[in-house]
Structure 1
Amino acid sequence: MAAPYRPQRIILVRHGESEGNINDHIYETVPDHALHMTERGRQQVITAGRRLRELIGGETLRMWVSPYVRTQESAELLDLGISREDWRIEPRLREQDWANFQDPVKIAEEKRLRNEYGHFWYRFTHGESGSDVYDRVSTFLESLHRSFEDPDMDRNVVIVTHGLTMRLFCMRWFRWSVEYFESISNPDNGTFVVLAKQPDQRYKLLEPFEQWDTSVEPTARERNSWED
Structure 2
Amino acid sequence: MAIAQRPQRIILVRHGESEGNIDDSLYETVPDHALHLTELGRRQVVDAGRRLRDLIGGESLRMWVSPYVRTQESARLLDLGVDPDDMRLEPRLREQDWANFQDPAQIAHEKRLRNEYGHFWYRFTHGESGSDVYDRVSTFLESLHRNFDDPDMERNVVIVTHGLTMRLFCMRWFHWSVEYFESISNPENGTYVVLNKQPDDRYRLSAPFEQWDRGLTPSRRERSSWEGS
| Pair in the same fold by TM > 0.5 | yes
Name the amino acid aligned to 2:88: R
Q: Matched residues in 2 for 1:137 and 1:150: separation?
A: 21
Q: Matched residues in 2 for 1:93 and 1:106: separation?
A: 25
Q: Matched residues in 2 for 1:120 and 1:4: separation?
A: 35
Q: Matched residues in 2 for 1:105 and 1:171: separation?
A: 30
Question: Number of residues paired by the alignment?
Answer: 226
* CA apart distance, 1:5: 1.5
**Is it true that 1:76 corresponds to 2:79 in the alignment?**
no
Where does the alignment leave 5 or more consecutive residues of structure 2 unmatched? none
**Is it true that 1:177 corresponds to 2:177 in the alignment?**
yes
In structure 2, the residue matched to 1:54 is 54
Q: Matched residues in 1 for 2:38 and 2:176: separation?
A: 33
In structure 2, the residue matched to 1:217 is 217
* CA apart distance, 1:124: 0.2
Stretches of 4+ moved more than 6 A in 1? Answer: none
The alignment-based identity, stated in percent, is 81
* CA apart distance, 1:186: 0.1
Give TM-score, length-normalised by structure 1.
0.98
In structure 2, the residue matched to 1:138 is 138
Q: How does 1:1-228 map to 2 (within 5 A)?
A: 4-228=4-228
Name the amino acid aligned to 1:154: E
Q: Matched residues in 2 for 1:227 and 1:54: separation?
A: 20
* CA apart distance, 1:227: 3.8
RMSD (Å) for aligned C-alpha atoms: 0.8
- SS of aligned partner of 2:199: coil
Conserved in 1, the CA contact under 8 Å of 2:4 and 2:153? no
* CA apart distance, 1:4: 3.9
Name the amino acid aligned to 2:45: V
CA deviation string 1:58-96 (max 9, x = no partner): 000000000000000000000000001101100000000
Name the amino acid aligned to 2:36: H
Q: Matched residues in 2 for 1:51 and 1:99: separation?
A: 35
